Structure formats: structure tokens, C-alpha cells
Structure 1
Amino acid sequence: MSTRFTGRSAVVTGGASGIGAAIAELLSQEGATVTVLDLVAPDAASTAHRWQQCDVSDTESVERAVAAAAEEAGGIDIVVNNAGIGAQGDVTANSDEEWMRAWNINVVGMARVARAALPSLRRSDAASITNTASIASTAGLPQRVLYSATKGAVLSMTQAMAADHVREGIRVNCVAPGTADTPWIGRLLSQAEDPAAERAALEARQPHGRLVSAEEVARAVAYLADPQNRSSVGVCLAVDGGMDALRLRPQ
């Protein structure tokens, strides 16, 4: 196992489950001191032993958790903004309250964490922020209007943040997973009339014919956070089996 993050400190929001847990686990295995920021504690088997309870929709909670993580670890080098919620439906499906909640968590939540971490990142010689965007940032997906709006904003915010902070030595990038095999997707499938058929349809939508694994997304995040990849700035790294870029002929 690589030790490219030895001596580095990372915070991962939404790191208690799914993609966030895979990211926290990989960074920890590769030498980083990882603090998970989440409403719930990581699984006891996780190697990312540090945890700060954090609600990314609340500024006070974020500032407290980030400050505690920085104090315990002696600073912050890597921020992974992964916390987020899903939403379904066309433009008529979600109430104003649902719009505000998703925007507050998926977009403003990332801004809160980055803002709170900036003083520590400015003291690092290898600072990076990686945001979790989505295939929904760049492709029109049915019944995902609210979710897509927030993830499109994450992509634009990432690029603007990269422009603001590159000359400070802080690299800002994002990953854009395709449909991933996560607990949220599992819950959606369990609610379908025919879960097996719905899963097969989601797998067929991605050119490589399967769901993306959380571990694949984690490896992409690790690449972007790697201090050796200093020319990766303002990048949106797709991890989607070719869904965004490829146009295959029907079988």
C-alpha cells in the first residue's frame, strides 16, 4: 500500500458510509490522519478512527468540527467535501423546503467546510480540496432536477474556487461519479416495483455495464489529493464508466 499521505491530515465530510467511508478508509490506509465529519460515527471497523459530529447545514457545527479536527491533527492538508443528500422527481416534484434543504447541504455545506478549513489549508505545503460532484453535473438525467441543480452548482463552484485559491497553493478539484453502488441507491432500488429490473437498467445506462464502486471513486479522490499531482487544478474527474463522454451504438 502506498504511503503518499504519510504526515498529512485530512477531513472527509459524509465519511461514515458509502463513498465517503471508502475515501476515509483509503486515505487512512495510505498514511493520512483522517477525521470523519458526519452526523453519525464511522463503523467501528474503520481505520479512520477520528470523528467529529458535524451537520454541514449548520455553520456553527461546521466551524466547531473543523477547528477540533485541525487542533487534534495539528492542521489540515486535505479536505474532501462529500456530504450530500439525494432528491428525485421532475421540476414539479419537490417543495420549496426540499429545494432549500438540498441546496443548503449539497452546495452551501461544501462552502461552509471549505471556508472553515481555509486558514489551516493556507499553512499547508500540499493543500487540496476535492468536492464530490456527479454525472448529474454534466448530463441530463430523468427525474433528478433538484439533485442535478445542486451538483451542477458544485461543479461551477469547484472551478471558481480553484481560480480563487490556486495562487495560494491550494488545489481545488472535484470527482463526478456515475451511478454508484451506495446505500442511497440501494434504498431507491428497494422502493422500485422491480428492483432487479431497475438495477439492470441503471447498469446498462453506463457504457461499462455496471454500477460504479465506492472504492473506484475513492481512488480518484486520492489521485486528486496526492501532493505529487500539483498540476491537477480545477479538474472534474469523471468516474462513470464512460457515461458522460462516450456515445456507443445500441447493442
Structure 2
Amino acid sequence: MTDRAALTFKLPDVVAVSGASSGLGHELCRLLIGVGVQVIGVDIAKAQQDLAPLDGYSHVTGSVSSENTWAEVVTSIKDKSPESVGLVTSAAILDVGTILDVTPADMTRAFDVNVVGTALAIKAIMPLMIERSGGPIVAVASVDATFAEQQLSVYAASKAAVRQLARTIAMDHARQGIRVNVLSPGPMLAGLFKRHLESAADSERFLATRSARQPGGRILEAREVAQAAMFLLSDGASALNGADLIADGGLTTSFDFRTGAEGASV
């Protein structure tokens, strides 16, 4: 019996991950540490108990929309003296409701975390990458950056802003070795989707309906989407810059997935 063939890509020595205490960010931190990458988690919440004691993990507690938070992250990166640096901006907030339900304070909060938080992270850490002849940045947007979803107007608008922020930065700094790609998840069994699920009048029916819309018949696990982020961070994605990788299990590939329940010939 022979060993199964494997494909290996190189990752940065240190990766800063915002939104590290829940959902996609948490799963990504676990994956990165598992392959020997040093991780600096950033979140307004404290480090998760399964991450805090791990070798190679450090945590900065603070708002992603504060420059002071990112100054602390930069200091932590410099202390590690890495040869290469990566960044993933997965911190986000979501409020469920139509535009009639959203207050100006809600709008400001969403854009501060989702857009300003992304911009400040990139602005703070990218100079360290340029000093090292480049580095990978993964800006987490959403399928809602391109496709409308009911009751998520402000969230969708903020993620559309993240998408174009990232793509424009990619062009501005490509000659300095910076790669900025967008990761656009669909529904995941993680924080934001679970919050939407909990807001439904009938959560079980909501989950069953949303699962049936997926070509694979299920909602993706956050870990699966985190693996896509790992690829974008790696040198295996060196041909991608300004790309939008849609990690939704095929949800947006078709305008309508036929399950057979409607009498379609599948």
C-alpha cells in the first residue's frame, strides 16, 4: 500500500485573523495553528478556551474599528519577527430586518465593523507585508455582496463595500507584492447564519428550507469555508489577485436549484 498523494502549499509565518472568537474566524485559527502557523486572533471578545492555551496563538481583545486595536496587532507581529505575514478579515456583524427596522445607529455600527474594520486592518498590516516584499490578504465578504437577501439590506450593502474595497486595494498595491482576494461565503453553520436562523418564527422549518436550496442538500460547516481561506492565504493562490472566491456549496451557481419535490425531472 502506498501513501495517498498530497499537495502542499506554503503559508505565511504569521497570520492575523479578525473575528477570531466565533464562526469562520475561530475555525480558521484552529486550522492555521494545526499546520504550524503563528496566529494573532483579534476580536472584541476574549479568546476561546480551546485557542487561548495553544502554542503559537496570541489574542488581541478590542474593536476592529479602533486604530488602537490594530496598533497592538502590529506590535505583536513585530515581536515575532516573521519572514512573511498574512491577514484575514472575518469580523462582521449582522442585524436582521428590513430597512424600516434599521436605525441610523445600526447602520453606523454595521459599516464601522464590516467596512471600516476591514480597511483599518489592511492599512495597519500591509506596510509590514510591503517591507517583506508582499503578502496575502483575504477579505471576507459574502454572497450577499453580489446577491440580494431579504431582511439583510444593510449587511449586504456593507459586504458589497468590503468586496470593492479589497479589489481596489489589490490593484493599488499589486506591484508591491500584495495579493488581496475576496472570500464570499454562503450560509454556514456559524454565528451570523445561526443568528438569522434564531430570528425565524420556525427555526427548524427555516433550516430545512435553506438546506434544500443548497445543491448538496446541506448548509456548509464553517471549517469548510475556512479551508478556502487557507488556500487564498497560500502560495498556491499566487495567480489570484482581486478575485472573489465564492464558497457557498454551489448555491449561487444557478438561479434555481430543482430538488425534485416540485415535479422537475431530476
TM-score scaled by length of structure 2? 0.87
Cα distance, 1:250 vs structure 2: 5.3
Partner residue, 1:156 = 164
Is the CA contact 1:83–1:105 (under 8 Å) kept in the aligned structure 2?
A: yes
Residue type matched to 2:182 in 1? C
Residue identity matched to 1:68: T
Aligned to 2:213: 205
Q: CA deviation at 1:83?
A: 0.6
Unaligned residue ranges in structure 1 (runs of 5+): none
The whole-number CA distance in structure 2 between the counterparts of 1:206 and 1:146 is 24
Alignment-derived partner of residue 142 in structure 1: 150
**CA deviation after TM superposition for structure 1 residue 4, in Å:** 4.3
Alpha-carbon distance change, 2 to 249 in structure 1, aligned in 2, over 3 angstroms? closer
Shift of 1:43: 2.0
CA contact (8 A) 1:131 1:154 kept: yes
- Structure 1 CA distance for aligned equivalents of residues 143 and 80 of structure 2: 33
C-alpha distance in structure 1 between counterparts of 2:218 and 2:104, whole Å: 34
C-alpha displacement of 1:213: 1.1
- 1:59 correspondence with 2:67: yes
Where does the alignment leave 5 or more consecutive residues of structure 2 unmatched?
Answer: 1-5, 261-266
- What are the residue-to-residue correspondences of 1:122-137 with 2, within 5 Å? 122-125=130-133, 127-137=135-145
1-side partners of 2:40 and 2:85: how far apart? 12
Contact in 2 for aligned 1:56/1:109 (Cα 8 Å): yes
Letter in 2 for 1:105: V
Shift, 1:36, TM fit: 0.3
Q: Give the secondary-structure state (helix, strand or coil) at the position aligned to 1:223.
A: helix
**1:40 matched residue in structure 2:** 45
- Residues 88 and 200 of structure 1: is their aligned pair in 2 closer, same or farther, counting only changes over 3 Å? same
User: Considering only CA atoms, is the larger Rg found in Structure 1 or Structure 2?
Assistant: 2
2:74 alignment partner AA? A
User: Runs of 4+ in structure 1 displaced over 4 angstroms?
Assistant: 1-7
What is the correspondence of 1:90-129 to structure 2 with a 5 Å cutoff?
Answer: 90-125=98-133, 127-129=135-137
In structure 2, relative to structure 1, the CA distance for the partners of 1:69 and 1:89 (3 Å cut) is same
Deviation at 1:2, TM superposition (A): 7.9
Aligned partner letter, 1:189: L
The AA in structure 2 aligned to 1:14 is: G
8 Å contact 1:21–1:42 — kept in the other structure? no
RMSD: 1.9
Rounded to whole Å, the distance in 2 between the matches of 1:158 and 1:67 is 20
Query: 2:3 — aligned with what?
Result: none
2:13 equivalent to 1:8: yes
Scaled by the length of structure 1, the TM-score of the pair is 0.92
CA distance in 1, matches of 2:100, 2:27: 34
Please give the alpha-carbon distance, in whole angstroms, between the structure 2 residues aligned to 1:148 and 1:188. 13
- Aligned AA for 1:52? V
* Mapped pair 1:215 → 2:220: no
Q: Does 1:230 align with 2:235?
A: no
Please give the alpha-carbon distance, in whole angstroms, between the structure 2 residues aligned to 1:211 and 1:44. Answer: 26
Q: Does 1:73 align with 2:80?
A: yes
